[in-house]
Structure 1
Amino acid sequence: MTLFERLKADAAPQWAAYTNHDFVKQLGNASLPQDCFRHYLVQDYLFLIQFARAYALGVYKSPTLDDMRQSLEGVKAILDMELDLHVGLCGSWGMSRADIEKAPEDTPTMAYTRFVLDAGMSGDLLDLQAALAPCVIGYAEIGARLRGEGADHAENPYRLWIGEYAGDAYQGLAREFTNWLDRTADQVLTENRYPRVLSIFEKACRLESDFWQMGLDVRR
């Protein structure tokens, strides 16, 4: 069992609430109102800017060159792939990159990103990875599941988003992250420390759920 599989099993309620959230279900069945998705996407763009900084912090926290390269790949994936997806989707609504970057951060965005950065600043590489894992691996799981359900059909307006996270490039990134997490755990994880790592993982899952809910709450 990988460390991620153990964390996922021990945080099963939090993981299920995150990966099976109503926002995700509505993405899959194409019933999600566009204004909900638009608010989520703009906030996710702002989130990813901070997430890239968290990966950059991973470079500093890395004990080896291989770890530094892995962290750098995370920065590049965000700056060269994920942010461009968001800009392209927002562009279809007449929003420029500058428009997105001028948007104010919503409270769930601030809560989540600062939690991840604090986990990395106050802890070591494993703490940072535990905070990053729900997002990195969870999006891959969600994308693959929605594609497996046929949700990326031509009539679904969210098919490009699904395709991005179900695609080979992102799926490979998530697998590499899972392996990287295991390599770090092999070096520093003890049974006495595991509850702390699990707590970070659980909190990140809850913050992911709050992030989805933020999108739905636009309608309230």
Structure 2
Amino acid sequence: MTLFQRLKKAADDEWAAYTHHDFVRQLEAGTLPPEAFRNYLIQDYLFLIQFARAYALAAYKGRTLADVTQGLRGLSASVEETELHVRLCARWGISREDMEATPEHPATVAYTRYVLDAGNRGDLLDLHVALAPCVVGYAEIGARLQPVLDDHPDHPYAEWIAEYASEQSQQLAADAVAELDSLGARFLPEARFGEVAETFATATRMESAFWQMGLELADAER
């Protein structure tokens, strides 16, 4: 069992609530209100800016060239991922500048700053554990939702699903799982597992709160 699998098993309820959230179920069905998706995309763009900073912190905290390289890959992937958000939001006439001018929602602030704090106060393992629910969870969701595109090629959220079901996203997730194993061998005495598992569970709960934010912002617009 990989370290990620152990962390996921320890946070089984939180993981299920995150990966099968009502936002995700509605997105899969194509019934998610466009305003919920739009608000989510804007906040996720702001989220990715902070995640790029977190990966830059991972590179800084790296003790080996491999550590630094992994951090740089995550930083680059986060920046590249913003292009999806730019393309999708452009359909509503929302520019990159408009997104960057939008205030961060408290859920965005809470999650991203929690991850950055985990990295600042802890070691490289703490930081990658806090990052893992996002990069691995989105790939898991994308892979699970991908078959719906075979039956519904005109699915309203096809581009989002295809992005996270893509080979690139799946490889990023696999790399993140392998990195956790590598770091666990270096930084994780068994007595510390509970502490690391709580970081993972907390970050996973914040993923659920991020989906919920999208739904609530849409409700507020009605």
TM-score (ref. length: structure 1):
0.97
User: What is the DSSP-based 3-state SS (H/G/I as helix, E as strand, rest coil) of the residue aligned with 1:44?
Assistant: helix
Aligned residue type for 2:152: H
Runs of 4+ in 1 over 6 A off after TM superposition: none
Q: What are the residue-to-residue correspondences of 1:78-93 with 2, within 5 Å?
A: 78-79=78-79, 81-93=80-92
Q: What are the residue-to-residue correspondences of 1:1-220 with 2, within 5 Å?
A: 1-79=1-79, 81-150=80-149, 153-218=152-217, 219-220=219-220
Contact 1:146–1:152 under 8 Å retained in 2: no
Distance 1:171 1:46 in 2: 23
User: What is the DSSP-based 3-state SS (H/G/I as helix, E as strand, rest coil) of the residue aligned with 1:104?
Assistant: coil
Aligned residue type for 1:187: R
**CA 1:55 to 1:147, structure 2 compared with 1: closer, same or farther past 3 Å?**
same
Distance 1:148 1:12 in 2: 24
**CA 1:152 to 1:86, structure 2 compared with 1: closer, same or farther past 3 Å?**
farther
Aligned residue type for 1:181: L
Percent identity of the aligned residues? 56
Contact 2:107–2:206 under 8 Å retained in 1: yes
Contact 1:39–1:215 under 8 Å retained in 2: yes
Shift of 1:112: 0.3
Q: After the TM superposition, which of the residue ranges 151-160 and 24-33 deviates more from structure 2? A: 151-160
Shift of 1:62: 1.0
Distance 1:29 1:149 in 2: 8
User: What is the DSSP-based 3-state SS (H/G/I as helix, E as strand, rest coil) of the residue aligned with 1:86?
Assistant: helix
Distance 1:177 1:193 in 2: 20
Distance 1:78 1:120 in 2: 17
Q: Deviations over 1:85-132 (max 9, x none)?
A: 000000011011100100010010000010000000000000001100
The CA RMSD measured in Å over matched residues stands at 1.1
TM-score (ref. length: structure 2):
0.96
Distance 2:68 2:58 in 1: 7
Q: Deviations over 1:28-53 (max 9, x none)?
A: 00000000000000000000000000
Distance 1:166 1:112 in 2: 24
Length, aligned pairs only: 219
User: What is the DSSP-based 3-state SS (H/G/I as helix, E as strand, rest coil) of the residue aligned with 2:51?
Assistant: helix
Contact 1:40–1:214 under 8 Å retained in 2: yes
Distance 1:119 1:151 in 2: 40
Distance 1:140 1:103 in 2: 27
Shift of 1:152: 7.8
Shift of 1:148: 3.1
Contact 1:152–1:163 under 8 Å retained in 2: no
Q: Structure 2: which 5+ residue stretches go unaligned?
A: none
Distance 1:184 1:214 in 2: 32
**CA 1:102 to 1:12, structure 2 compared with 1: closer, same or farther past 3 Å?**
same
